[in-house]
Amino acid sequence: MDNKEQLIKEKLPQHIAIIMDGNGRWAKRRALARIRGHQKGMEAVKEVVKSCRELGIKALTLYAFSQENWKRPKTEIKGLMRLLKSFIRSELAALKKNNIQVKSIGHLERLPEDVQAIVKDAIEDTKDNCGMVLNVALSYGGRDEILQAVAQIVQKARANNFSLAEINEEMFSRELYTAGLPDPDLLIRTSGEMRISNFLLWQLAYTEIYVTEVLWPDFKKQDLYKALIDYQKRQRRFGLTGEQIGDR
Ligand code: FPP
């Protein structure tokens, strides 16, 4: 059964962030190599990107590779980099056709040069697209992102001699990798873990969190709709009382 009809168009999130977890467990359950889980996970990425675009979601941020992931076995890292390249190679035409803008957050410069080149080309090739932002977190760490924002501000403070009172949330947000994007309204994490794993620490301050037991390679558009239906039932209060936001 399709649960898409239950969605209220006016109440869809603008920005969805996803921690795509469980590829390894998916493979292990089938006695396959971990990379096979990542391969299948890439199919889920395609389905979710397509579904978000169809729904008119404005931004989708995917946690594809964290800073901590560099500690994984070399063969797995190599396999993930290969998958990322093949994803861009095979999907770039479709991304362009669907007016999707590719962006990345994190230390892109730490990726192998061939991967960097292909990601940068995709970013450049899609920079004028305005249908949806597909934001891929690569060699990303939330604490590190905050620290580099602090460093930028200190540098600017020294150069321009501005006062501490001028430092506010807007100014800080402009120094983050996500500058220009709204904060995520919804964070989805697959495979049941209840943590945010150093993802978008600043930006998730008021984000609704949805955790599903479904492993990422098994995550289908119906699972996305389920998360969205759950999100639409929530009351987002941003620190206000229920009465203040019109709840009776
Ligand atoms: C977490 O599963 C998944 C990752 C670290 C990588 C996600 C990568 C992809 C889905 C493929 C490529 C991505 C793009 C955007 C093209 P895990 O290995 O931590 O699973 P486990 O916790 O079960 O071991």
Closest CA to 227 of 9, 18, 10, 1: 18
Residues serving a catalytic function are 21, 69
pLDDT at 30: 98
Three-class secondary structure of residue 220 per DSSP = coil
Give the angle subtended at the CA of 88 by the CAs of 58 and 144, to the nearest 5°.
65
Minimum CA distance residue for ligand 1 atom 1: 21
Alpha carbon distances (Å) from 19 to 106, 128, 200, 213? 15, 27, 10, 12
Taking the model in full, what pTM does it have?
A: 0.95
The predicted model gives 134-159 an average pLDDT of: 95
- How far apart are the CA of 183 and the centre of ligand 1, in A? 23
Whether residue 91 has its Cβ less than 6 Å from ligand 1: no
What is the per-residue pLDDT across 9-58, written as a single tens digit (0 to 9) for each?
999 999 999 999 999 999 999 999 999 999 999 999 999 999 999 999 99
Residue found by looking up tokens 């993930």 in the block = 80
End-to-end alpha carbon distance in the chain: 33
Minimum CA distance residue for ligand 1 atom 11: 42
Q: How far apart are CA 170 and CA 179, in angstroms?
A: 9
pLDDT tops 70 at residue 247: no
